[in-house]
Amino acid sequence: MTRTMKNQQWSLLVLLLAILISSCGGNSSSQTGETTTPPKPMVAEEEPEETDPMKNKGIGPISSVELGEIDEAMVAEGKKIYEQMCTACHKIDKKYIGPSPKGILSRRSPEWIMNMILNPVEMIEKDPIARQLLAEANGAPMANQGLTEEQARQILEYFRTLE
Amino acid sequence: MATLLLVFLVSACNQQSGGDKAGALGSGDAASKVYVAPGEYDEFYAFLSGGFSGQMSVYGLPSGRLLKIIPVFAQDAEKGWGYNEETKPMLNTSYGFVPWDDAHHPELSQTNGVPDGRWVFINGNNTPRIARIDLTTFETTDIIEIPNSGGNHSSPFTTENTEYVVAGTRFSVPFPQKDVAISSYKENFKGALSFIKVEEEGLDIAFQILVPGYDYDLAHSGKGKSHGWTFFTTYNTEESHTLKEVNASQNDKDFIAAVNWKKAEEYLSQGKAKDFPAEYLVNRYDESTHTATSTKHETVKVLIPSECPGLIYYLPTPKSPHGVDVDPTGEYIVGNGKLSADLTIHSFDKMMAAIESQSFDDEIDGIPVLKFEDVLAGTVQSGGLGPLHTEFDANGNAYTTFFISSEVVKWKVGTWEVLDRAPCYYSVGHLMIPGGDSKKPWGKYLVAMNKITKDRYLPTGPEMNHSAQLFDISGDKMQLILDFPTVGEPHYAQGIAADVVMQNSKKIYPLNENNHAHAIKNESEVKIVREGDVVRIYMTSIRSHFAPDNIEGIKVGDKVYIHLTNLEQDWDTPHGLSVLGARNAELLVMPGQTETLYWEPQRPGVYPFYCTDFCSALHQEMQGYIRVSAKGSNTELKWSVGED
């Protein structure tokens, strides 16, 4: 038997099998040539959306934050939590694993900051700025440290003093 | 060949039975009954004992997905169990460190006779022990050693509100242990029935009952009307000590021992118990310190039946009964006479009436023997051979495994009529119905745990995993719907509705509740402390670096303890730690937890360490170095992370 003949026989068999399988279930619709979605690249390929970063509130539970006079009690609490939960990756005086929070309130909206703390997984996936930061950190993801909204707000208050 | 394939396909297409071995599989849509779509959850958790693996495995039903193996009595390198400093004490016994056991019967804690999802217990048969697993973390938190016992088999069955779990000896031994001739068995060997008090904070032996030197095989406690009683099967009432295969099977009837544990509590409070010498260890893992400790005990309280009337009775039961199973109403006590074809069912009401009328056949060592006819409720004449275990559904039916005839037989409680039978592949031992030994069985599924696998799966050499088979029991006929392999040898299992357990499942250990003696809470606390040749490295992990990751000044011969605290606080973000050449397993540290790797460096050099559990895109970068200098050298002790 030649190779060609073999191939022809197999083709026939495959065809027969395909017919059998499709007729077997009695439900052979949707055999269209749909293509699967290609895997998403880890790093954003498209340009970040043309929005003012200060107007980007991010994605997460925080839609609005009112900033009043700086509350020193909240600052103290926020500093404590920051040092406890964040300093393995964020140093005040330099970029470490992630960026320094110094001056962050002139770069990001307060809502974005809190959403990044509270909802980092979704932010990294969907928010254009967070995606860019992930790329800058070589793919080191922001860890979800399981903080409450109150704790995130206290950290935000502490960040306001880091100008 | 093509024709052959086509024929095969056409026949498969018509969903005809695949042959005898498939059992009832072809008769309905079995595949859709066990299909749990990707991302969906199973309806039940099933806890299967690991037998000679020493562990417990957790499966989802009906899919048969293996969810987890919980390390219990055996060291488990995968999780560092029994290797890290924190969990080593869990495997301590009065004989020292025993890193293995033969794990037999999982038993869920109950409230009002219904599995409550708080804990699951399991017995170690070889070096008698009982373990408790906390179902908020699926971690073993308690292991208690049982003294005066050999072969802790009739264990750890619970009472209706988990007041106690029990431990009866399968191999009677001198009580207390002493050096005697084996041939003095009848004179010196005794049995112990132990009741272990279950408290939130720990386990302790409340009392033991000194009983004749039979083999106490299995147990179950009463429920409802029979709450307050626990039943143990016996064999070897011949008290033979050799060739038991023959010599322990002579008597036509052995006994089910009925223990009134509420009466025992009265005798205890009256001071009737005697203190016997008994060395045993109680090991407790504290979730707050993430550390286990062992406490030694030296005496145990013992009740002697001849001094405690009404404490215990013997119910004659034919042919070396194996399992003893109490129906959901608490009225019927099923004796599975393993050398018989029939099942013997005793009536709790009849037993109470016989006790009331003092109608006894005999008395053995102060234990009244009731008359068989007085307590008998009925007999199931099944036609099967070798009944072992019975479980119940929610509709008044019972299901019994028959080892020799390799089948499950369904019968009606009360009429003793056989309703259905299904073959098992092969040689079924235990069976499990979710809630099937409780007051309120969920029913729906039955898992048969088979002792022989042979040709059920692709061959894997001489040794094969034991097979389990899932039956749908929601209809009149049992329907075989799935085969799945198991770990070790499952002796019994327990099943519980998933939502009872999953709502309490923890995702992390809060870092601020970590009270480990060597925990540090952030990177600024990283340090290394040397005291003589003991060096303690206080290390942290977070995606994706260790701190410190450069360490110098360690010397050959040092006793190095690496205390690693995982700073993560997100679900499913463990970090591992391993060191080149460390004669130890890895650590696997959960978020917020601290674990300790012990290492004695042997040769000068620079040793890499790294994270063993893939944690992020930069997992490969999560590594560090430890410089080891010769003994007596003066390399400065220093450490850093992120410095050039």
Instruction: Evaluate whether ipTM surpasses 0.90.
Output: no
Rg (CA), chain A: 26
Min mean pLDDT across A3-12, B3-12, B178-187, B380-389 is at B3-12
Contact A42 B573 (CB under 8 A): no
Residue B399: beta bridge partners?
A: B391, B410
| pLDDT 10s digits, B354-412 | 999 999 999 999 999 999 999 999 999 988 999 999 999 999 999 999 999 999 999 99
- In this structure, what token pair is assigned to residue B243? 């060739």
Q: Is residue A50 part of a domain?
A: no
Q: Is residue A124 part of a domain?
A: yes
Q: Mark residue B592 as left, alpha or beta (left: phi above 0; alpha: psi -120 to 50; beta: remaining).
A: left
The DSSP symbol for B307 reads G
The strands making up B587-589's β-sheet, listed across from edge to edge, are B587-589, B575-579, B605-610, B623-629, B550-555, B638-640
The domains found in chain B, sorted by start residue, are 41-502 (2.130.10.10), 511-640 (2.60.40.420)
What are the CA-CA distances from residue B556 to residues A98, B328, B446, B629 (Å)? 37, 64, 57, 6
How far apart CA B172 and CA B85 sit, in angstroms, is 35
Contact B555, B532 (CB under 8 A): no
Tell me the residues of chain B between 515 and 574 that have a Cβ less than 8 Å away from chain A: 521-524, 540, 542-545, 547, 567-570, 573
Contact B62, B470 (CB under 8 A): yes
Q: Answer whether A13 touches B (CB < 8 Å).
A: yes
Domain containing A154 — which CATH number? 1.10.760.10
How far apart CA B638 and CA B548 sit, in angstroms, is 10
User: What's the whole-number mean pLDDT along residues B166-189?
Assistant: 96
How far apart CA B241 and CA A148 sit, in angstroms, is 65
Q: What's the pLDDT score for residue B20?
A: 52
Contacts of residue A17 in chain B, CB cutoff 8 Å?
Answer: 5, 9
Q: Is residue A85 part of a domain?
A: yes
User: What's the whole-number mean pLDDT along residues B149-172?
Assistant: 97
The secondary element (H helix, E strand) that includes residue B48 is: strand B44-49
Q: Is residue A113 part of a domain?
A: yes
Chain pair A-B, CB pairs under 8 angstroms? 68
Q: Answer whether A139 touches B (CB < 8 Å).
A: yes
Contact B543 A138 (CB under 8 A): no
Q: What length is written for chain A?
A: 163
Q: Answer whether A26 touches B (CB < 8 Å).
A: no
The CA angle B288-B289-B292, to the nearest 5 degrees, is: 115
CA closest to B620 among chain A residues: A140
Calculate the average pLDDT of chain B. 94
Going by their DSSP bridges, the two strands B534-542 and B559-566 should be labelled as parallel
How far apart CA B321 and CA B286 sit, in angstroms, is 40
Q: What's the pLDDT score for residue A21?
A: 46
Q: What length is written for chain B?
A: 644
Contact A140 B616 (CB under 8 A): yes
Contact A140 B618 (CB under 8 A): yes
Question: Cis link prior to B176 (omega < 30° from 0)?
Answer: yes
User: What's the whole-number mean pLDDT along residues B133-162?
Assistant: 98
Domain ranges, residue A89:
72-160
Contact B547 A88 (CB under 8 A): yes
Q: Which residues contact B340 (CB under 8 A, 6 or more apart)?
A: B318, B319, B387
CA closest to B542 among chain A residues: A88
The secondary element (H helix, E strand) that includes residue B185 is: helix B185-188
Q: What's the pLDDT score for residue A37?
A: 52
How far apart CA B83 and CA B596 sit, in angstroms, is 9
Q: What's the pLDDT score for residue A40?
A: 53
Contact A143 B545 (CB under 8 A): no
Contact B522 A83 (CB under 8 A): yes
CA closest to B619 among chain A residues: A140
How far apart CA B307 and CA B367 sit, in angstroms, is 10
Contact A143 B573 (CB under 8 A): yes
Contacts of residue B545 in chain A, CB cutoff 8 Å?
Answer: 88, 97
A65 min Cα distance to partner chain B (Å): 25
| pLDDT 10s digits, B304-340 | 999 999 999 999 999 999 999 999 999 999 999 999 8
Whole-prediction pTM value? 0.89
CA closest to A12 among chain B residues: B2
Low-confidence ranges of chain A (pLDDT < 70): 1-50
Where do the H-state alpha helices sit in B357-479? 372-375
Q: What is the 3-state secondary structure (H, E, C) of B481-525?
A: EEEEECCCCCCCEEEEEHHHHHCCCCCCCCHHHCCCCCCCCCHHH
Contact B2 A13 (CB under 8 A): yes
| pLDDT 10s digits, B55-93 | 999 999 999 999 999 999 999 999 999 999 999 999 999
Q: What's the pLDDT score for residue A33?
A: 40
User: Which residue, among B111, B110, B66, has the nearest Cα to B120 in the 3D structure?
Assistant: B110
User: Which residue, among B560, B499, B494, B562, has the nearest Cα to B532 in the 3D structure?
Assistant: B560
Q: Is residue A10 part of a domain?
A: no
CA closest to A84 among chain B residues: B522
Contacts of residue A97 in chain B, CB cutoff 8 Å?
Answer: 545
Contact B433, B440 (CB under 8 A): no
Contacts of residue B2 in chain A, CB cutoff 8 Å?
Answer: 9, 12-13, 16
User: What's the whole-number mean pLDDT along residues B114-132?
Assistant: 98
Q: Is residue A25 part of a domain?
A: no
Q: What's the pLDDT score for residue B477?
A: 97
How far apart CA B328 and CA B224 sit, in angstroms, is 8
Q: What's the pLDDT score for residue A138?
A: 87
Which candidate in A79, A87, A92, A118 is best for mutational testing of the B interface (most B CBs within 10 A)?
A: A87
Which candidate in B544, B614, B615, B621 is best for mutational testing of the A interface (most A CBs within 10 A)?
A: B544
Q: Is residue A150 part of a domain?
A: yes
- Residue A146: which of B521, B544, B569 has the nearest Cβ? B569
Contact A141 B543 (CB under 8 A): yes
Q: What's the pLDDT score for residue B23?
A: 53
Q: Is residue A154 part of a domain?
A: yes
The tally of domains found in chain A comes to 1
Q: Answer whether B616 touches A (CB < 8 Å).
A: yes
